[in-house]
Chains A and B, each alone.
Chain A
């Protein structure tokens, strides 16, 4: 259970988009538990009580176990996952603060086009708490993946292409970020920190932010 906490835990969400992912995870777990119990239970019954399986014909087992059991469960989970995905994706909107994330092997750098005078920060992403932020992600070399588990989902950083991800931190705080796509020997070092500041102090905090890696 140690993986359920810490600043890289997707099960300890700090914003609505991460919360929607955590909800989906719990829904899938709750869907999997009764199915697992049922399958193991039926298996044990056929082992412990010989002849139990003959109550149903071979075709009956195939229809019940291969269609009737998984189809409704998987359809419901797929529908839920797709609706949650649509919610997280949203629509590019003017209400979101734009931030540009640029990946290269071993390093993330962040630019803030909507905040005049803000420096490019390396290894630290500054956000205003309580405000929707749209991150435009790209890469200078190979494919990376931008992921702040406590704030939202993953999005690939692809050379020559821009992808978008929405994040929202509900309260000020510090969160961990990683590259979630193996990108070479420097992959494990490609961590970054997200600092969510009080909205009123965001511009001032960003203005005095260091540009180098911390």
Chain B
């Protein structure tokens, strides 16, 4: 019996970065609401930098790193539809991650 070689689904590299964005969106909102409830916005680590803001900034940094990791991984794929579209979508997700979530640096949190 000869089966077709196992192949990676095409949609995975295309969806990966924006899936991270969507998970990040939920996680940021959840962390913000939980932090506000627990009073993390009142505990200052440095002047003007509260525990909650630091936690949100670290989460955003982690999200950005994850999206960049997806971009780097996609660049190693062989040329083709998945690589071309996946790279374009992932770069859009990287820009969107920084653009949409940059409010954690300066907006009122609670």
B108 interface contact, C-beta 8 A:
yes
State the main secondary structure of chain B at its contact with A: helix
Q: Which residues of A contact B107 (CB under 8 A)?
A: 82, 85-86
A89 interface contact, C-beta 8 A:
yes
**CB-nearest residue of chain A to B95:** A71
Q: Which residues of A contact B108 (CB under 8 A)?
A: 86, 89, 91
**Within residues 87 to 132 of chain A, which ones have a CB less than 8 A from any CB in chain B?**
89, 91
- The CA of A82 and the CA of B104, in the complex, are separated in Å by 12
How many whole Å from B102's CB to the nearest CB in chain A?
Answer: 10
B103 interface contact, C-beta 8 A:
yes
B32-47 to A contact mask, C-beta < 8 Å, 1/0: 0000010000000000
Q: Which residues of B contact A91 (CB under 8 A)?
A: 108
**CB-nearest residue of chain B to A86:** B108
Which residues of A are in contact with B by a Cβ distance under 8 Å? 75, 82, 85-86, 89, 91, 161
- Please name 7 pairs of A and B residues whose Cβ atoms are closer than 8 Å in the assembled complex, sorted by A: A75-B99, A82-B103, A82-B107, A86-B107, A86-B108, A89-B108, A161-B37
